[in-house]
Amino acid sequence: MVEYAINPWMDTNAPVDTELAVKQWEGLRETLVRLGHTVHVLLPEIGLPDMVYAANGAFSVDGVVYGAKFKYPQRAAEAAAHRRFYETLGWRYHLASETNEGEGDFTYLPAAHGGLILAGHGFRTEVAAHAEAQEVLGRPVISLRLTDPRIYHLDVALQPLDDANIAYYPGAFSESAQKVLAQLFPDAVVATEEDALTFGLNLVSDGRNVVLNSEATGLAASLRSAGYVPVPVELSELKKGGGSVKCCVAELRG
């Protein structure tokens, strides 16, 4: 069962197949390992069902961590679990004063314009957190306003494909944000509304292999024509919480 609803995808009456959900999550983990990534697992905690969306707990660049401060009380306690994890790694952790949901609304492109943070606001993360992240991380932050409630986090609308380029759905952003993105990323893979709503953009790419939700067949085809290798994974049960591949993964940028 979905225990609470804090985004339009969550329906507390919709049944969830827990066994299948765990199997799908395992499939995602195995896919990442097979592609050569090291995967650390943050242990789940009772009473925090959304912890599976590990992207939201923090955002790190160069081994420096900007902690999350969740918008909804149901998720607030997740931040401390992430903090303990980073402290065990010995990374510098900064407690946030402003509301922000980590990699849900922040991403980093090391080779775009000398190293650029892209940040979303409008539903979860406050724009004041963008300035705070810039102070903590010492990298320029580009603020992008999200406008479609179904696409409530930046990582459902836009993801890096490599160190310098992105895929994104323009319709998720304000007109001004669309102009900014077109200016910064003239070679981006431009996705459709369907690509976004099948959670296709909620992807994890290593610059060549792009792990994405198997329902996003249209985006997989566009990525293939752009020279990438789509790697589809089934995450139907995770979608019931309003997330897919990227939501389950926090990138550790040491």
Q: Which residues have a catalytic role annotated? A: 153, 247
Do residues 2 and 14 touch, judged by C-beta distance below 8 A?
A: yes
Minimum distance from residue 156 beta carbon to ligand ARG (Å): 5
**Residue 243 is a binding residue for ligand ARG (CB under 6 A):** yes
Here the tokens at position 219 are 């985006």
Whole-angstrom distance, CA of residue 92 vs CA of residue 60: 9
Please list every residue from 68 through 127 that binds ligand ARG, using CB under 6 A.
Answer: 75, 104
Residue 6 interacts with ligand ARG (CB under 6 A): yes or no: yes
Q: What is the DSSP string of 95-115?
A: --SS-B-GGGTEEEETTSTTS
237 interacts with ligand ARG by CB under 6 A: no
Q: How far is the CB of 153 from ligand ARG (least distance, A)?
A: 4
Q: List the one residue from 24, 31, 50, 215 that touches ligand ARG (CB under 6 A).
A: 50
**Which C-beta is closer to ligand ARG: that of 31 or that of 100?**
100
User: Could you tell me if 193 and 157 are in contact, meaning their C-beta atoms sit under 8 angstroms apart?
Assistant: no
> Residue 109 corresponds to which amino acid?
L
Candidate residues 24, 31, 56, 125; the one interacting with ligand ARG per rule CB under 6 A: 56
Q: Rounded to whole angstroms, how far apart are CA atoms 183 and 93?
A: 33
Q: How far is the CB of 50 from ligand ARG (least distance, A)?
A: 5
Phi and psi at 23, nearest 5°, equal -65, -40
Q: Does 213 bind ligand ARG (CB under 6 A)?
A: no
Number of residues that bind ligand ARG (CB under 6 A): 16
Q: How far is the CB of 157 from ligand ARG (least distance, A)?
A: 10
Window of 3-11, 131-139, 182-190, 208-216 that interacts with ligand ARG by CB under 6 A: 3-11
Toward ligand ARG, which CB reaches closer, 55 or 189?
55
Stretch of residues binding ligand ARG (CB under 6 A), selected from 35-43, 182-190, 214-222, 235-243? 235-243
Q: Please choose, out of 2-10, 80-88, 139-147, 209-217, the segment that lies near ligand ARG by the rule CB under 6 A.
A: 2-10
CB atoms within 10 A of CB 114: 9
CA atoms of 88 and 84, how far apart (whole Å)? 6
Residue partners of 65: CB distance under 8 A and separation at least 6 = 58, 59, 86, 91, 92, 93, 94
What is the rounded distance in angstroms from the CA atom of residue 28 to the CA atom of residue 249? 10
> How is residue 206 written in tokens?
């290593």
Residues in contact with ligand ARG by the rule CB under 6 A: 6-7, 10, 50, 53, 55-56, 75, 104, 153, 155-156, 241-243, 247
